[in-house]
RNA sequence: UCCCCAGUAGCUCAGUUGGCAGAGCAAUUGGCUGUUAACCAAUGGGUCCGCGGUUCAAAUCCGUGCUGGGGAGCCA
């Protein structure tokens, strides 16, 4: 760096001041000016005025930009006038009350260091972009107001999940991502192998005994079975991590890799399970309402006008609870024209679920006690011997947010159910052991974390609440 | 996987009955200005998604493939 280089002067300035960088979200908190501040961030927009230049800087710490006023007396003013949208800068100067409208503070710059100048090919413009376009530049979209807000809320909600469970005395279980059983659930699974595809092709078949684990292995579709084992040891546990489904689902509510929260509670029946789900959802929503107000305001203004009302309902109204049988009765009595007929014994269609949650109860509703024929082996058989202690939470505008059950804890009942469903016992020897030794009633559920975020933000496509979405035919970034 | 819709400048879109490729914003240049999606003017910018067909002539009509969106199924 040459001595007459403006950046040399700036470097010396920072050395002399020995200033620490401050994040923009802390600036708004000041009632009186702290004097000199140093901020670093990315330029959202720049405008010239006579004798000085306005810049709006965002550092990702919050929705707000800070306006910087850079005067023509600055050594590198000519360079400053060439600063483009998307460039990275460090600005030091006095935090002063802004005479302009729209912001409380602005920085009267002593120095503006250009860390990195963005060329004119920077794809993000000052105007609104479509979600579809932003998905094609998913590596840059967190630099927009909407996606910055979405991912700050996502982070805040992750912390809230852990805090909720810690406060309730649950233990966090990191269940395995690679699993050996291929029949954990109904969904298609992603195969995990270290075999060379060309070699397999030459041999003409997969020899799993030659594979890394010596048997078929897959990415997990649920941590539930692991969680059950640990609930029966530590009492109350939860898993929270990535989950994989190889279903060829092309909808705004499905991705191949998503995060699922799965609590599992010993000595807990289906009713306790529902209590817990309702408490969890209310806690998370309330936390969002108090901790993410600025970001949520953006979604209420620009994304979903009904968001505030829906969050209020989630926070304040008691969730409805009704049995599957009751729900069928309501649907039949509704005399609504459905594309699919309502009939006892079959699973409810989307249109039926939507009617119940959005039109009939107009708030979240737990549906429980489903016919055993349409539910998996591990759900507890009720005394009527026709239904199982399953539960789904249906939320207006979102659909199924939670799916869970009380688990079958009686060894003989579980074994005969597996036999009826023609499932092999051997791979589940360890699962059945838990019913052999100190088996107790227990319950749990899975909550789709991205679907929860859709509910909290009003974002209507699941691809927009996950950093880099994986969907059929799409794994860019 | 099935049904419906769309694909035209960097972005958002218009393009009439098949007859010369357009606008706004962005970019670049200049002007003006305590501005704030700044403003004013000029300039540059096109594989009309790909392939095949019909036609004197295709962005436009037909077939097919790809990509994206909405809905359904599967589910969280």
Burial A356-369 (b: 16+ CB within 10 A, else e): bbbebbebbbbbbb
For residue A163, give every residue at least 6 positions away whose Cβ sits within 8 Å of its Cβ, in sequence order, or none: A287
End-to-end alpha carbon distance in chain A: 36
Please report the pLDDT score of residue A94 as a whole number: 95
**Pair of tokens at residue A130:** 């479509």
Residue A14's pLDDT band (cuts 50, 70, 90): low
Answer yes or no: is pLDDT of A211 > 80.
yes
User: By C-alpha distance, which of A265, A263, A266, A244 is closest to A255?
Assistant: A244
Please report the pLDDT score of residue A339 as a whole number: 86
Average pLDDT over residues A199-209: 87
Kindly state the DSSP code that residue A356 receives in the 8-state scheme. Answer: I
Burial of A132 (0-12, 13-18, 19+ CB in 10 A): exposed
Q: Report which residue is nearest nucleotide B26 when distances run from CA to C1'.
A: A125
Kindly state the DSSP code that residue A124 receives in the 8-state scheme. Answer: -
Residue A126's pLDDT band (cuts 50, 70, 90): confident
Question: Which spans in A20-91 are helix H?
Answer: 24-27, 77-80
Q: Find out whether A470 and A256 touch, Cβ atoms under 8 Å.
A: yes
Q: Give, in Å, how far the C1' of B74 lies from the CA of A102.
A: 48
**Contact flag, residue A325 CB and nucleic strand B, below 7 A:** no
Answer yes or no: is pLDDT of A12 > 70.
no
Please report the pLDDT score of residue A180 as a whole number: 85
Residue A223's pLDDT band (cuts 50, 70, 90): very high
Residue A19's pLDDT band (cuts 50, 70, 90): confident
Which residues 146-185 of chain A have a CB under 7 Å from nucleic chain B? 185
Please report the pLDDT score of residue A382 as a whole number: 96
Please report the pLDDT score of residue A244 as a whole number: 94
Task: With both helix axes pointing from N to C terminus, report the angle between A307-316 and A270-291 in degrees, rounded to the nearest 10.
Answer: 140
For residue A449, give every residue at least 6 positions away whose Cβ sits within 8 Å of its Cβ, in sequence order, or none: A157, A158, A161, A240, A258, A259, A260, A261
Q: State what percent of residues in chain A have pLDDT above 70.
A: 95
**Contact flag, residue A48 CB and nucleic strand B, below 7 A:** yes
Answer yes or no: is pLDDT of A184 > 80.
no
Q: Give, in Å, how far the C1' of B14 lies from the CA of A128.
A: 19
Please report the pLDDT score of residue A28 as a whole number: 85
Phi first, then psi, for residue A307 (nearest 5°) are -60, -50
Q: Give, in Å, how far the C1' of B4 lies from the CA of A135.
A: 23
Supply the ipTM of this predicted assembly: 0.91
Half-sphere exposure of residue A440, counting CA atoms within 13 Å on the CB side?
A: 17
Q: State what percent of residues in chain A have pLDDT above 90.
A: 80
Answer yes or no: is pLDDT of A424 > 60.
yes
Please report the pLDDT score of residue A8 as a whole number: 59
More confident residue, A6 or A449: A449
More confident residue, A33 or A181: A33
Average pLDDT over chain A, rounded to an integer:
92
Please report the pLDDT score of residue A452 as a whole number: 97
CA distances A166 to A161, A262, A266, A358, A427, Å, are 9, 14, 16, 33, 33
Please report the pLDDT score of residue A341 as a whole number: 87
Nucleotides of B strand lying within 7 Å of any protein CB atom: 1-2, 10-13, 25-28, 32-38, 66-76
What is the three-class DSSP state of A133? helix
Please report the pLDDT score of residue A203 as a whole number: 87
Query: What does the angle CA A128 – CA A133 – CA A134 come to, to the nearest 5 degrees?
Result: 75
What is the three-class DSSP state of A310? helix
Least confident residue range of A14-28, A251-265, A288-302? A14-28
Residue A145's pLDDT band (cuts 50, 70, 90): very high
pLDDT per residue as tens digits for the range A57-102: 999 999 999 999 999 999 999 999 999 999 999 999 999 999 988 8
What is the C-alpha separation between A91 and A149, in angstroms, rounded? 23
Answer yes or no: is pLDDT of A422 > 70.
yes
**Pair of tokens at residue A421:** 């469903």
More confident residue, A18 or A295: A295
Answer yes or no: is pLDDT of A38 > 90.
yes
What is the C-alpha separation between A279 and A187, in angstroms, rounded? 28
Task: With both helix axes pointing from N to C terminus, report the angle between A307-316 and A293-302 in degrees, rounded to the nearest 10.
Answer: 130
The nucleotide minimizing the C1' distance to residue A402's CA is B76
Residue A336's pLDDT band (cuts 50, 70, 90): confident
Statement: the pTM of the whole predicted model exceeds 0.90: yes
Least confident residue range of A89-93, A182-186, A403-407? A182-186
């Amino acid at each position: 760096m040459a001595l007459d280089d403006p950046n040399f002067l700036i470097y010396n300035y920072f050395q002399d001041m020995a200033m620490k960088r401050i994040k923009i979200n802390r600036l708004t908190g000041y009632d009186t000016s702290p004097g000199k501040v140093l901020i670093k961030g990315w330029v959202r927009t720049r405008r010239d005025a006579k004798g000085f230049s306005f810049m709006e800087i965002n550092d990702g710490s919050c929705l707000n930009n800070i306006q910087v006023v850079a005067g023509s007396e600055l050594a590198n003013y000519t360079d400053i006038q060439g600063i483009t949208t998307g460039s990275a800068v460090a600005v030091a100067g006095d935090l002063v009350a802004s005479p302009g409208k729209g912001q409380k503070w602005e920085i009267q710059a002593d120095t503006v260091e250009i860390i990195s100048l963005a060329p004119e090919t920077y794809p993000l413009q000052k105007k609104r972009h479509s979600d579809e376009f932003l998905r094609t530049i998913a590596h840059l979209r967190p630099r927009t107001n909407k996606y910055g807000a979405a991912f700050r809320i996502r982070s805040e909600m992750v912390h809230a999940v852990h805090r909720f469970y810690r406060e309730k005395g649950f233990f966090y279980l990191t269940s395995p991502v690679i699993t050996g059983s291929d029949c954990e659930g109904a969904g298609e699974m992603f195969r995990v192998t270290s075999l060379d595809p060309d070699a397999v092709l030459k041999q003409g078949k997969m020899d799993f005994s030659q594979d890394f684990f010596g048997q078929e292995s897959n990415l997990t579709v649920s941590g539930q079975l692991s969680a059950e084992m640990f609930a029966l040891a530590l009492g109350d546990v939860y898993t929270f991590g990535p989950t994989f489904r190889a279903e060829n689902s092309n909808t705004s509510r499905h991705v191949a890799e998503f995060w699922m929260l799965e609590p599992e509670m010993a000595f807990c029946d289906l009713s306790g399970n529902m209590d817990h789900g309702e408490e969890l959802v209310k806690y998370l929503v309330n936390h969002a309402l108090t901790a993410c107000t600025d970001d949520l305001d953006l979604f209420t203004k620009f994304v979903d006008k009904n968001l505030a009302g829906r969050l209020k309902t989630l926070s304040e109204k008691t969730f409805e609870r009704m049995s599957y049988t009751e729900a069928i009765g309501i649907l039949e009595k509704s005399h609504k024209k459905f594309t699919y007929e309502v009939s006892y014994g079959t699973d409810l269609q989307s249109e039926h679920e939507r009617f119940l949650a959005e039109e009939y109860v107009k708030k979240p509703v737990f549906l429980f006690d489903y016919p055993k024929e349409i539910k998996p082996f591990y759900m507890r058989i009720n005394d009527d011997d026709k239904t199982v202690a399953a539960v789904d939470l249906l939320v207006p505008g979102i659909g199924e947010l939670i799916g869970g059950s009380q688990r079958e804890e009686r060894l003989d009942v579980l074994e005969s159910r597996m036999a009826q469903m023609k499932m092999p016992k051997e791979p589940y020897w360890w699962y059945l052991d838990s019913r052999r030794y100190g088996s107790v009633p227990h319950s749990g559920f899975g909550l789709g974390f991205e679907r929860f975020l859709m509910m909290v933000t009003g974002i209507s496509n699941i691809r927009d609440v996950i950093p880099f979405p994986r969907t059929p035919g799409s794994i860019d970034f």
